[in-house]
Structure 1
């Protein structure tokens, strides 16, 4: 019987094997192809005292009964023990089954190598073959072992809060544990279900990462194991729990994506970017248009006259898409009403909403709309007719957050209502872009009459099915994922969306830090970024309009400022920057992206490379050199991956050798007024 399996990825491999007693699966090797040929760097070579063998082993996935002390991936009431029950692999998926003969729980551990990438996806499929219901208290997707040394693990993670999402943090874990989670019904602003692990003794050595494809509540932890390796566990939270698995029922965990690179965090980010492009598939070739969003200019005061005025200004700048944000529908004069009643406020648009949309499109602009399908206002027709459609607990009062409630999307009638509403909007009006927002976490997570319903899973499943429906029925409509900013940026959402809104914070230096973290996790073609006049919430230092434009050009360019307040000079500069962006957009969205230095450096810079073209975006973030008033030298940006003996020419005709750009660096000159730069290099 075969007892060891190797999955080959683009340049790496992942090898697992049954332990001698066939009680669990262990990791043998993970890294560049060929590392599986030799003794395992993960295996425990010592005796165990006061713990079980599984507690010291690099176990891939184990129930609490078998791994009671070091951390189990699955916790079932009454505990569980299992043995190998067969190889059920298909052409594309490694499927290894384990069976608990006492309680009937059958678990299949699944592995899929994503074609053309160094990403491996893992999940578990659980079936209750017994006669009694099982209660699942913890539902991990996978256990992931990393062979760190005596110094422990260096963990890089993304954290923050609303207006400060995706903040890059690093901590060294010499012993003990690390934990992140979200109970918000979405991945949330505070933590992101993404983690990178490196050996703490090596400066930016090989990096190993995980990213959870789950749009609901989740948990992720890392522990230094008894043998010294670092083990990460990630999965959905049983919220509200426990999860009941009835006899004959089947449950599939969310997928956990694993990635590795010998080139440190830069290399790991490249692997994740490659995976983002893989998930986009043919839609990667869809143009992500330069958009204008009217929210910051008008907020809830939406009228056709004012919106058209802004659309005319935007069209003159070269904008390609006009998006009307919150406030376009019946009863939405402020944040206390209207949600759920997705009918345009016809009286606000001369000639009606349809005529307004046609007028926007007549300017040469595509048309987009903001929606928040999962929310409902107590002051709405929908809530008056269907108060039972919101999450609630019998006998308990409802809690308002942002003056709204959350629809129980797992109820079939609610799902059908939302799908019908979206169909009506998209078939009645020529809408080419939909901004899907979600601003309200669940509080009273109950459904009267269904005390054991798996509400979080049902909500997420309905949300995914709605996005899938939009993809299939309206393939030309671009979808933007938003959740009060960057609260819903998991891989499951990203695989069904075209762009992601990382944060409601558009201030220049604040946003630079947010985008620095976002690009560790996702590729630039997903990163929607606006030019606005908003001051910084955390770093209020002013920056030029050019700085704001170059910053927004690092992903999918948008504008959210009140264009009527811009001077003619600002509009001229904006038109020039938009024209430049359109020239470099293919390289930004499809080229290899490398963040050279972040917001804490005096010069922050990102390099994009595709074929013989290199684009560098750079920003002055710190103290100036003092030149020309005092002695000083040019700031330098060492570039990556260039051909040493090739010649690179910029737009001004200056020539550089690849060796110079790699080892000396691209020179940039900063002044008080010149604080951002776009450099385009062509290899001759």
Structure 2
């Protein structure tokens, strides 16, 4: 007998099949979309691998245990649905949990109801049955200074289509996207969109983990599947001994639906806002000046900082962050860890510089890389080996740094004392938390698998961040990892700001800025604006435009700029503050499609109920024209104003934009 469970949230409708086989999630659609005919994919809702219960395939789908699970009940409480399945032979109990927000957030809980044990080697957070793999996948690669590079591919180009009837098997191929190591976005992004080619349906997801993760697609007898998970054995050397006293919970994932790419990213934007933990201080959204990019580059001194502080205050910055090197007597890379101000850089003490920041009515901030201890730091000898990530009892050392294990009390005590001291002594209100060193596959300390040791450390890091903000509710923290190498919503659901790149070339930064809202909230996207004195007016403007459609993160030698250049900076901050007032309600769209790395024209729209901000970049020299297919409205230059070398007119096809400049240029427009 087959029963169908329809679970509808304000934004999403899910259909589950409950019969004498494993539970199956057979349909996901936007709640506003008509139901239509429900497909019946054969893919189980949960896939489980364990030692002794494997299958001969690299696929994470089609598992023996996943196929043996049977429905035992479900419960709906408030905005939460829990579906329970069991395998009678092993005593495995699986609970699939769904929480309704703007989409749904899902994870899997595994436990044993008998005396036995299972050595798990893979457990899905969620598996979605697809009616077809005749679809286009939008996904992104991510690397240092070349973040957010999105592409589109047909799933059928990577999944073989062979004859399917009772006498032929389904192709065993898969298309897999995997992130290894501790940089969750070091190579690829944990976000994707699948657009069905046959129907106006699109599915979007994100994996919310600050460490390794995996997703994959494959064809099945009656459609296909999307598998989402954290670490696995095959991909990440992860396993977990499951007993009656030792349960396991996967990393969470979010799922949304829409009709096309832009509607899915709008839904993901609303979902990120819904799952984000906000404190009153997060409503402030200050303009932060940071001394690093195209400025001091990790070499701060009192002499260099004091004029920068005055210039930043005069320009209108709210916070002033001193970046890397403030603690170093020489090399700032291998000496990290003690976090004491340098005596040679600050002859009269760091307090002199901090006092100037306070006196100029700005909040002081400091760069910190809390998770590492330099091999040349005195702290390296003071802390026990157990305070560090180890393999076979030896400290993991990567590029001159040891890696703290945040599960360890001594490691956390050292970091807590550091944070509390800097806040109490200097009134620090902002930290730029960086992370420039990867861990490798993990730690086997305590007898765990390498992947499980890393997962436990990842979760301990999140607990540590929560504890900091509980003790210091007015503290803002930026999430940085060599720019955006850990740009995930385990971190961003609890931190204030995300550095979107370390890219220093304004023209190369433009596609990074434009694509950022696909993976991070506009109000959390810290885009560097680092105008360089002496450059042409258009290049100076373009560097400022890059910061406006998000959180403008100001840098540059403001103290060396001409009055005309400083007036442009102040004008950009005024324009940015107008966007800031609307930003928490805006959702992204891309009139020219998601930007390509070498595109000549790039456009990003941030749309609200009554207003849109449209940022347009032209990255080639000489005059050029482009038509943006957007609804007609009242349009006005937002930044810069008073220039007439870009023109705008409406046609039947949309807004016709012409850049009449001899060099690359960019503009921000306001549409009502």
TM-score for the superposition, normalised by structure 2: 0.86
Alpha-carbon spacing, 1:206–1:661, altered in 2? closer, same or farther (3 Å): farther
Q: Measure, in 1, the Cα distance between the counterparts of 2:227 and 2:285.
A: 36
Alpha-carbon spacing, 1:479–1:448, altered in 2? closer, same or farther (3 Å): closer
**Residue 254 of structure 1: SS of its match in structure 2?**
coil
Confirm or deny that 1:499 pairs with 2:494. no
**Residue 154 of structure 1: SS of its match in structure 2?**
strand
Alpha-carbon spacing, 1:354–1:212, altered in 2? closer, same or farther (3 Å): same
Match for residue 551 of structure 1 among 546, 567, 570: 546
Match of 2:413 in 1: 416
Q: CA deviation at 1:158?
A: 1.1
Match of 1:171 in 2: 153
Deviations 1:86-115 (A, max 9, x none): 22442231111112223222110111111x
TM-score for the superposition, normalised by structure 1: 0.85
Match of 2:116 in 1: 132
- The within-5 A match list for 1:443-482 is 443=440, 445-448=442-445, 450-451=447-448, 454-482=452-480
Q: Measure, in 1, the Cα distance between the counterparts of 2:326 and 2:636.
A: 49
Conserved in 2, the CA contact under 8 Å of 1:506 and 1:534?
no
Match of 2:43 in 1: 58
Deviations 1:340-390 (A, max 9, x none): 212222553354323421211111212111111110111112111125022
Q: Measure, in 2, the Cα distance between the counterparts of 1:394 and 1:67.
A: 30
Q: CA deviation at 1:614?
A: 3.1
**Which sections of structure 1, spanning at least 5 residues, go unmatched?**
45-56, 536-540, 627-633
Match for residue 437 of structure 1 among 413, 434, 437: 434
- The within-5 A match list for 1:585-596 is 585-596=580-591
Q: CA deviation at 1:257?
A: 0.4
Match for residue 72 of structure 2 among 81, 85, 89: 85
Q: Measure, in 1, the Cα distance between the counterparts of 2:623 and 2:32.
A: 48
Confirm or deny that 1:532 pairs with 2:530. yes
Conserved in 1, the CA contact under 8 Å of 2:621 and 2:662?
no
**Residue 517 of structure 2: SS of its match in structure 1?**
helix
Q: CA deviation at 1:495?
A: 0.4
Deviations 1:588-607 (A, max 9, x none): 44323322233555432222
**Residue 376 of structure 2: SS of its match in structure 1?**
coil
Alpha-carbon spacing, 1:148–1:509, altered in 2? closer, same or farther (3 Å): farther
Conserved in 1, the CA contact under 8 Å of 2:392 and 2:445?
yes
Q: CA deviation at 1:649?
A: 5.9
- The within-5 A match list for 1:562-573 is 562-573=557-568
Conserved in 2, the CA contact under 8 Å of 1:155 and 1:171?
yes
Alpha-carbon spacing, 1:576–1:185, altered in 2? closer, same or farther (3 Å): same
Match of 2:248 in 1: 251
**Which sections of structure 2, spanning at least 5 residues, go unmatched?**
160-172
Match of 1:484 in 2: 482
Match of 1:538 in 2: none
Match of 2:166 in 1: none
Q: Measure, in 2, the Cα distance between the counterparts of 1:225 and 1:542.
A: 57
**Residue 126 of structure 1: SS of its match in structure 2?**
strand
Match of 1:155 in 2: 137
Match of 1:99 in 2: 86
Q: Measure, in 2, the Cα distance between the counterparts of 1:475 and 1:74.
A: 47
Match of 2:521 in 1: 523
Match for residue 237 of structure 1 among 232, 239, 246: 232
Match for residue 362 of structure 1 among 359, 362, 372: 359
Match of 1:664 in 2: 654
Match of 1:578 in 2: 573
Deviations 1:285-327 (A, max 9, x none): 6132222111242234322232122111111222221101111
Q: Measure, in 1, the Cα distance between the counterparts of 2:494 and 2:56.
A: 38
Deviations 1:409-449 (A, max 9, x none): 22233223322322222233212211111111113833555
Q: CA deviation at 1:199?
A: 2.4
Q: CA deviation at 1:568?
A: 3.9
Conserved in 2, the CA contact under 8 Å of 1:240 and 1:455?
no
Alpha-carbon spacing, 1:467–1:332, altered in 2? closer, same or farther (3 Å): farther
**Residue 493 of structure 1: SS of its match in structure 2?**
coil
Conserved in 2, the CA contact under 8 Å of 1:604 and 1:620?
yes
Conserved in 2, the CA contact under 8 Å of 1:159 and 1:167?
yes
- Size of the alignment, in residue pairs? 637
Q: Measure, in 2, the Cα distance between the counterparts of 1:191 and 1:590.
A: 28
Conserved in 1, the CA contact under 8 Å of 2:589 and 2:604?
yes
Conserved in 1, the CA contact under 8 Å of 2:604 and 2:614?
yes
Q: Measure, in 2, the Cα distance between the counterparts of 1:659 and 1:226.
A: 52
Conserved in 2, the CA contact under 8 Å of 1:141 and 1:236?
no
Deviations 1:113-157 (A, max 9, x none): 11xx2x1111111112332332111122111233336xx231111
Q: CA deviation at 1:283?
A: 4.7
Match of 2:203 in 1: 208
**Residue 109 of structure 1: SS of its match in structure 2?**
strand
Alpha-carbon spacing, 1:670–1:592, altered in 2? closer, same or farther (3 Å): farther
Q: Measure, in 1, the Cα distance between the counterparts of 2:311 and 2:471.
A: 33
Match of 2:167 in 1: none
Alpha-carbon spacing, 1:38–1:316, altered in 2? closer, same or farther (3 Å): closer
Deviations 1:37-93 (A, max 9, x none): 55422x15xxxxxxxxxxxx03211335698769446979x9983322222442231
**Residue 569 of structure 1: SS of its match in structure 2?**
helix
Shifted more, 558-567 versus 64-73: the winner is 64-73
Shifted more, 490-499 versus 64-73: the winner is 64-73
